[in-house]
Each structure stands twice: as structure tokens, then as C-alpha cells.
Amino acid sequence: MKTGSGRYDVCIIGAGVCGVNIARRLSAYELDVVLVEKEADVSFGTSKANSGIVHGGFHTGKNHLKARLELQGAMMFDRLRQELDFPFRRCGIVVAAMHEDEMRAIEQLYMQGVDNGVIGIEMCSRARMLELEPKLNSDVVGGLWVPGGGIVEPYRFVFALVESAMKNGVEKLTDFKVESGAHNGDEWTVRAADGRQITARYVVNAAGLWADDVSKAFGAEDFEIKPRKGEYYLLDRLTKARPERVVFPVPTSISKGMLVVPTVEGTVLIGPTAEEIDDKTDLATTREQLEKILSSARAMVPSISEYDVITSFAGLRPTLEDDFYIAPSARVPSFIQVAGIESPGLTASPAIGEYVKDLLKKEGLRLSEKPDYDPFLASRIHVKDLTPFEVDTLAKGDPAWANMICRCEKVSEAEIVEAIKAGHTTLDGIKYFTRAQMGRCQGGFCTYKIIKILMRETGLPWDQITKNGGTSHVLKDAL
Ligand SMILES: Cc1cc2nc3c(=O)[nH]c(=O)nc-3n(C[C@H](O)[C@H](O)[C@H](O)COP(=O)(O)OP(=O)(O)OC[C@H]3O[C@@H](n4cnc5c(N)ncnc54)[C@H](O)[C@@H]3O)c2cc1C
């Protein structure tokens, strides 16, 4: 494997859901592709903290690129799920009108959905809404039903895409913060903050919140990405308020509103808020926003209780204009901008991979199919899905399958070791890969055990174990 001094055909900056979809799509061709990421692991940016919804294609008119890519991307999830085995389910979306005057907006969304070609979209009466989602407030007056909408675990989606891309030859360089790019002859020299450098004929800027800085560092377009914060609260899987469908309110002009999402792994997410902020690192959550989220969520699903909240988190939308900015730079050669990818970026991401592949081809990149491209990943074993007898059988080969590390989410020692072997060597990386630390106790019982396994498997001393790389040491001052 190259260690950061290689020559590549394409360098993709940013290992969020857009960058990894592009990398995986390109991995089907005879190309040397490198994916570079400033963080210690992939999916540590906006792609880790969102609603995890595969949207239904009715929120935006098809004159927007983001609407066209949303529709195309949403349709690609079933095949990707078959190939990559990540948690995904088409549970459908309901949009609940709580007042008669909201029905006009519902009708507009319906017309837009029909115009966009959304399959099965339906305007609903109160009775139909309650039949589709019995957890809804019985005061609902009507709404919209979009059966094709779904839910996905966003980080596991990213991890599976990266694993597949790497299986097909893509190289991944983490802790590689791109600082500058210079074009000489027919190639870019891409330099990282730590002095490493690589060269590539084409560069794709998929740097999320920092796509503006990266663009400037390459002498490309001057634009500004503004963060819009979304706070969430997560409810325990034991909550009685879990709906079967994703429940949306009628949208506002700046956001799709605060939702109630039955996550694909059995918990419930409520939120997000939508707050313009200045600081691209501000992921704080507040009591004040919790009140807002609870009241909005309860208006639609009254059984939601504050006592079921197990944690809170925030994500930052990388907002630019009213649409995605995906285009070759008009200022510098062989540089593709993938910027301003706010919602529905997760949904659109497989289609973004396809779109960027075509842009690169138009810019002169030769695409010749790899005869040995393998789109499939082997399914992973999850102890939580097994019977005790099946766990027993596995444990005869390796007792680590029967050693339960995270009791809340039922994750065994063997699964933690698999995560580490797959390159996830921070506590957050292991959390997103396995779900250990994500349950009711939020790592209260298992974090210490995971640290011990990490030390054993990696040889790292205790003071080098981090939450998410860099200086986020977890034990440094504690002992
Ligand atoms: C609150 C919220 C809710 C959302 N809900 C949904 C939803 O339900 N459905 C949906 O479809 N979409 C949703 N979205 C949108 C979706 O999450 C984003 O569109 C998507 O994650 C963007 O992916 P990305 O790859 O462009 O960015 P990111 O995931 O941020 O990836 C960019 C990467 O680039 C890296 N990077 C930055 N600078 C550098 C550098 N100099 N060198 C190297 N690497 C660098 C970053 O570390 C990061 O990992 C939501 C977003 C938010 C915030």
C-alpha cells in the first residue's frame, strides 16, 4: 500500500458519504484512486450526524439538481443494500398536517411529487393517516404518504462503501488534512498539513463544511460554506412512542422541519433544529432546543416522553446556495467541485457518485472497466441477530463471540475485534462500526472494556487511545 507519496489518477478530498460514493464508483475502472481525509476515520464529518433518511423526492422541484439526484439516488439504495449489506429499510414517509390550513401545503408537495415522478405518492385523509401510522396524534387532519422513503444507518453505509472501494483498489489516507494544491504540467500536487504529498491528474473537492477552504487552496472558485446546525435527541429502543414510518411535519422555507424517525436499528430520533451559526466546529446541544424539539415531536406523536431520551447530538449542514454545486471548476483545470451538499445529500450520494464519474469522463478521464471488479461484500455477523444456540456454535471456534462487551446493543468482543481489524481504531470509529456505546448506558459499562481490547489489538498504550483521533485522549488526565 502507498503511504502518502504516490501518484494517482484521481484524488478525492473528503471521506464523507459523497467522497466515498465517488471513490467506490471509480473503483469499477482501471484507475489509481486515493481518498484523503483529515480526520482519523471516515464518516466523522456531517455524514455521521444526520436524520438517516432516504428521502422521498417530493420536497424540491426537479428544476433543482439536488431533486434530480435525490430521486435517482433513492432508487439506487436497494441494489447497494444487496451488494454491501448495510442497515436500510423502506419504511415509508408520512407528512402530517395538524391544521386545515396546512393542507394547501400538502397539496403542493403532492403535486410536486407527482411532477417529479414519485411512485405511490398519495394525499391522505385523517383516517388513512391514522391507519398508516397509529402513533400519530388523533388530531391530525390529513397528510401525505410516500411509500418509497426509507431509513439507513449513515455511518455503516459509509463504512461499507469504503470497504468495497478499498477491496477494489482505492487507497485511503486518514489524518491527511489537505492544505494546498498546485497544478504543474498535467497533474496536481496535493500537500497535507503534516508534510505528506501526493500527485493526481484530477482532484475532487468533497470536503463538506470545508469545501470553501479547499477550493481556495487550489486557486479555484471563491465561495463560502455556512454551517446550519441541527440538534437531535435520541430515544431509547424501549420507548413506546416508536412509529413505523418516518413522520414529517409540513416543511418550512428553510428546513424540512423537526421529524420523528424510527431508526433502522430500533431507537427513535427526534429533531433536527435549523439554526444558522458561524462556527464550523460547534456541535453543542442545549436544553432550550430540547424543549423545542420535544414540543414539535409531541405535536405529531404525543406518546414521546422526555424520560426516554438517552443522548443528544448535533450535525452541521454545509449550506451554500439553494442547490448542490457539483461542476468542474471554471478557474482551474481537472478540479471537480462537490460542494454545498446539504440535505438530501445522503439520499443523493449514490447518484452523486455516478454524476461525478460522468463529469470526470467529460473532463478527459479515460474509464476502462475492470474485469475483476467485485461489487459485493461478505455479510458480517451480528450477535444481536443470533439465537443463543448460534452464538454457542460460533463460540466453539472463537470464545470472543460469546463475550458480550456492549450489553445495551448486544455487541460481542469478536465484533469489536473485527472493527479494529477493519481499521477503526478510535472509540467513535468502533461505535459507528459496531453500535457498541450507542445504547441506553451510552458506553458507561463498555467503554473501559473496549479500551482494553483496543490496547491489546493495536499495541497502543492507554494514553494514546482517543475518542475520535487527534488530541481527544480519553484517559490522559484521568489516571
Ligand atoms: C442535521 C442534518 C440532517 C440531515 N438529514 C439528512 C437526511 O435525513 N437525509 C439526507 O439525504 N441527507 C441529510 N442530511 C445531509 C447529509 O448529511 C449531507 O448532505 C451529507 O452527509 C454530506 O456529505 P459530504 O460527504 O458532502 O460531507 P461530510 O460528511 O462532511 O464529508 C466531508 C469530509 O471532508 C473532510 N475534510 C474537510 N476538509 C478537509 C481537508 N482539508 N482535507 C481532507 N479532508 C477534509 C471532513 O473531515 C469530512 O469527513 C442532513 C444533514 C444534517 C446536518
28-52 pLDDT, tens per residue?
999 999 999 999 999 999 999 999 9
Average pLDDT, 10 consecutive residues per value, the chain (479 residues): 70 98 98 98 97 96 96 98 97 97 96 97 98 98 98 97 98 98 96 97 98 98 97 94 97 85 96 96 93 94 95 96 96 98 97 98 98 96 96 97 96 98 96 95 94 96 93 74
Compute CA 355 distance to the chain's CA centroid, rounded to the nearest angstrom: 19
Q: Which grid cell sits at 48?
A: 455521521
Whose Cα sits closest to atom 33 in ligand 1? 14
Residue given cell 498535467 in the structure block? 186
Q: Which of 81, 94, 170 is nearest to 130 (CA)?
A: 94
What is the predicted pLDDT for the residue at 256?
A: 86
CA 46 to ligand 1 centroid distance, Å: 3
CA 400 to ligand 1 centroid distance, Å: 35
* Separation CA 116–CA 160 (nearest Å): 30
Which residues, including other chains, have CB under 8 Å from residue 448's CB and lie 6 or more apart? Answer: none
Closest approach atom of ligand 1 to CA 207? 34
Does residue 99 carry a catalytic annotation? Answer: no
CATH number of 383-464: 1.10.10.1100
CA 219 to ligand 1 centroid distance, Å: 23
Closest approach atom of ligand 1 to CA 209? 30
* Residue 400 exposed, middle or buried by CB count within 10 Å (0-12, 13-18, 19+): middle
* Separation CA 324–CA 251 (nearest Å): 19
Residue to probe by mutation, ligand 1, list 44, 51, 282, most atoms within 8 Å of CB: 51
CA contacts within 13 A on the Cβ side of 184: 6
Whose Cα sits closest to atom 2 in ligand 1? 50
Active-site residue, selected from the candidate residues 55, 99, 183, 382: 55
What is the predicted pLDDT for the residue at 252?
A: 78
The verdict on domain 1-89+151-225+320-379 having CATH code 3.30.70.20 is no
Whose Cα sits closest to atom 37 in ligand 1? 207
CATH number of 90-150+226-319: 3.30.9.10
Instruction: Give pLDDT tens digits for 275-299.
Output: 999 999 999 999 899 899 999 999 9
What is the predicted pLDDT for the residue at 255?
A: 77
Over its C-alpha atoms, the chain yields an Rg (Å, rounded) of 22
What is the predicted pLDDT for the residue at 475?
A: 81
CA 314 to ligand 1 centroid distance, Å: 12
Q: Which of 167, 165, 84, 168 is nearest to 371 (CA)?
A: 168
Domain boundaries, the chain: 1-89+151-225+320-379, 90-150+226-319, 383-464
What is the predicted pLDDT for the residue at 479?
A: 46
Residues with CB under 6 A from ligand 1: 13-19, 36-39, 44-47, 50-53, 55, 176-178, 206-210, 214, 230, 272, 315-317, 341-347
